[in-house]
Chains A and B, each alone.
Chain A
């Protein structure tokens, strides 16, 4: 019970302390530009009153979910197939390993060139960013399936599509979920960067716009806080997947 209480109390203490230090430092420095914690809070209220708070959050979430789900739809099947067929793996894996380390940010000029200033550009960037973690995780997962499982399935006469749905997919699911978690984290990182350049809504846009139109650093920080909190919520949601009975075996219980 003590442990559980500590889990809440300790982080709250640290955060409280940080806010306090922040507040004191701003007052001491006499800065006119950098906001105090209350300034940020007021900024948030102002955004809510102007009606852009929910609008921007929804816009960002929409881009992330679209790009991310597209990446899942492509990455998981492709990863599973590449992992399963050794020859395909040999053919495509080097290409994947070359593309993978290129930061999605580096694709921004090409995205603008191809998709113009529209929702499509950031969605494309998010798609790219989440595609690789999902694909490589699925690929590795298939290659790691214990041979005992495949042998048993074969022995019981399970093959073809049934082998995929009954053994390969459930057997790789925990590793795929780990890939999904990483991918979602990256996607959320990228949406902010993408929105800073190509669009006129969303949390990334909020930050860059607040700075450009009147040095509103209170809104800049407010945007940052929102991004952090939403990122946390997204991660917690994916973590809940790890608790499902069908995949819990793949995660160390803590």
Chain B
């Protein structure tokens, strides 16, 4: 092997134990051969393979040492001998001065996640090493380490239902719970995806700093070693001996872009005979990080792109918009990464999806999965009026096409979408909070900064899509948020039992109950066979001026519509009343150089008629088309997304005009629609189909119908409308 001129301390051969403050582990003149029989004398015997040759190593108490070397060189063998699982052919291993002959609970060996016992729950696994301790002590230790590795809430889960990264946390917690002095880690994070690995490294360091264990960590990933270790021990090809050790005197957490860090990394690579040439292209690191010399030739990177890219496209947020965008991009073969801040499980909130969502779900091939989840389906909408005895019924079947929409548990639904995207090929990184979008020198978005606990690290991409939902990451960061002025709606709602659902044919429908006040209405949505969600949407001003408390207001408002009042008599509330504000906003710019915003992050519309999710999904589809086209054309400037922005704005404008119109005439809305002659079109509109030219026409027709009522003093419905002056508040007839 050609040795490079080193500029660091490199030692081959015996390392004097005196060099360390206090030697915890001492490996003396260790030789291992396979096939010669365990404990047999060393020497070039027939048929035996020499694996380790003359290894000498000393590890100080509390030190974090990484062993790196080419794949298959014998680093794991060394760790197995040190751990007591394998005998040496010659030489010995001393721990605290005593020779190692067998494994010991004071020194735990952590392999990859498949060491977790699948028949035990997370907490039972963690307590496995404490079976001989008193119940109380065991429970305390388990709780402590569950907390430490971030598995709270998953104590009772079985391994089959948690991710690989979480299983590795279980392994780590199980090892720590046995309060060992030493941890042996053998490619422990090797089977995980890049981002999970990054996160676990950060957490391992946090825990190590707190618990001060001695750690001996085997890896073939040089970057991993450089991020973690106090000292990196570089091993040669088989038969392996120690080539050199590199001290890493950098503070933690280490800045992965700093020249010092890169210097250490390159030193180690050079020692391993890889040299500078290809490193830093980073794709290898992202894909499994083999830095072995025999993996050559390495890909050299373009001089125009000195930074490694983590993905072509980074999607911020794994809600419906992010997941659907991911699914479409995966289909288009665009490499992308979804960064999702929420840890599963998410909160369980019931939500009614509009019919247009069904269409998109079908396009995504998700209807069978929706069926499997057994979500409640609805087949139409019924409008009840406060001045008419009969509801106005609108069946989806009238519209042709799909005849059912879903009522979903958002936690399960969002999870379904995200899993679907992952199945199609989306890479997903969950649990990382995106702090900000990063911009390059020319003002183009070039990636995001992700925060995990206290450590932050950058992820680089050519394009960033903000699908962060109402939080609108970019809207806030770039001060683009524009609230829709006259939309100060809020909803008071809860779940009820024993709500009468009206005639059997419309039992599963969403009911919209109109109220004799402008800017207000109520919903009734079946959640399951027993539970019904009932809510009142009202103007915030109106509520404030009424001076009532929420309970009073809710019962007053639901009493305004006789049909609704009848349904609610005898209803039993199952939880507290909840209040949700639904301020609408749009962004003043929805795309720029290297970025665009999709879903609620770009356009947050009033979620009446359950349009929220379908709007998010639809805008994600538009965004995916725009992104794929821009990447294909090689133009990622803001200009490339003008068409996307125009269509998004159209959707927002159309929808906002519709909502404004609805609130002006909400007391008589149902009747006017029923009489308007464009009933099916309006229904389609209400169900979220606001994306084609037809929409503007429908809107105009509807407006004409309402204007006819408003201007014609003789019109029979005129008397049900409040005077314009009374609109703002207390608009009760």
Contact = CB atoms under 8 A, between A and B. Distances in A.
B6 interface: no
Contact of B158 (A155, A156, A170, A245): A245
B117 interface: yes
B118 A157 contact: no
A248 B160 contact: yes
Contacts of B372: 3
A249 B103 contact: no
Interface stretch (A73-81, A144-152, A235-243): A144-152
B115 A249 contact: no
Interface in B152-183: 158-160, 174, 178
A158 interface: yes
Interface of B: 83, 85, 103-105, 108-109, 111-112, 114-115, 117-120, 128-129, 131, 158-160, 174, 178, 371-372, 374
Interface in A28-67: none
Contact of A155 (B108, B160, B374): B108
A166 B132 CA distance: 13
Contacts of B112: 148
A2 B119 contact: no
B128 A156 contact: yes
10 contacts: A146-B115, A148-B115, A152-B128, A155-B104, A155-B105, A155-B108, A156-B105, A156-B178, A157-B104, A167-B117
Given A2-B371, A3-B371, A151-B109, A171 B128 contact: no
Contacts of B119: 170-171, 173, 246-247, 249
A249 B371 contact: no
A248 to B, nearest CB: 7
A155 B371 contact: no
Nearest to A173: B119
B371 A171 contact: no
Contacts of B105: 155-157
Given A245-B158, A248-B158, A249-B158, A151 B371 contact: no
A158 B115 contact: no
Given A156-B105, A157-B105, 11 more contacts: A3-B372, A148-B114, A148-B115, A149-B115, A151-B111, A152-B115, A155-B83, A155-B108, A158-B128, A170-B120, A248-B158
Contacts of B103: 151, 154-155
Contacts of A157: 104-105, 129
A171 B178 contact: no
Please name the 5 residue pairs, one residue from A and one from B, whose CB atoms are nearest each other, closest first.
A249-B118, A156-B129, A148-B115, A170-B119, A157-B105
A156 B176 CA distance: 11
A1 interface: yes
Contacts of B111: 148, 151-152
Nearest to B178: A156
Interface residues of A, number: 25
A162 interface: yes
Q: Which of B85, B115, B120, B160 has the most CB of A within 10 A?
A: B115
Contacts of B374: 1
B707 to A, nearest CB: 45
Contacts of B109: 151-152, 155
Contacts of A152: 109, 111, 115, 117, 128, 174
Given A1-B371, A245-B158, A249-B159, A151 B85 contact: yes
A151 B112 CA distance: 12
Interface string A1-31: 1110000000000000000000000000000
Nearest to B177: A156
Contact of A166 (B104, B108, B131): B131
A195 B479 CA distance: 86
Contacts of A162: 131
Contacts of A2: 371
Contacts of B118: 249-250
Interface string A131-153: 00000000000000010110110
A173 to B, nearest CB: 7
Contact of A170 (B108, B117, B129, B178): B117
Nearest to B117: A149
Nearest to A171: B119
A151 B178 CA distance: 15
Contacts of A249: 118-119, 158-160
A1 B158 CA distance: 27
A146 B117 CA distance: 10
A105 B614 CA distance: 65
A160 to B, nearest CB: 13
A3 B371 CA distance: 8
Contacts of B83: 155
Contacts of B129: 156-157
A244 to B, nearest CB: 10
A3 B374 CA distance: 10
Given A151-B111, A156-B129, A166-B131, A171 B117 contact: yes
Nearest to B368: A3
A250 B119 CA distance: 9
Interface in A151-192: 151-152, 154-158, 162, 166-167, 170-171, 173
Contacts of A149: 115, 117
A166 B104 CA distance: 18
B241 to A, nearest CB: 26
Contacts of B120: 170
A247 to B, nearest CB: 7
B598 to A, nearest CB: 32
B668 to A, nearest CB: 38
Contacts of A173: 119
Contacts of B131: 158, 162, 166
> In this complex, which of A1, A3, A156, A173 has the most chain B Cβ atoms within 10 angstroms of its Cβ?
A156
Contacts of A245: 158
Contacts of A3: 371-372
A148 to B, nearest CB: 4
Contacts of A171: 117, 119
A158 B159 CA distance: 21
A156 B160 contact: no
B184 to A, nearest CB: 9
Nearest to A170: B119
A146 B118 CA distance: 11
Contacts of A148: 111-112, 114-115
A100 B723 CA distance: 92
Q: Which one of A2, A157, A166 has the highest number of Cβ atoms from chain B below 10 Å of its Cβ? A: A157
Contacts of A154: 85, 103
A146 B371 contact: no
Contacts of B128: 152, 156, 158, 166
A152 B178 CA distance: 12
A36 B178 CA distance: 70
B343 to A, nearest CB: 22
B31 to A, nearest CB: 23
Nearest to A174: B119
B365 to A, nearest CB: 16
B109 to A, nearest CB: 5
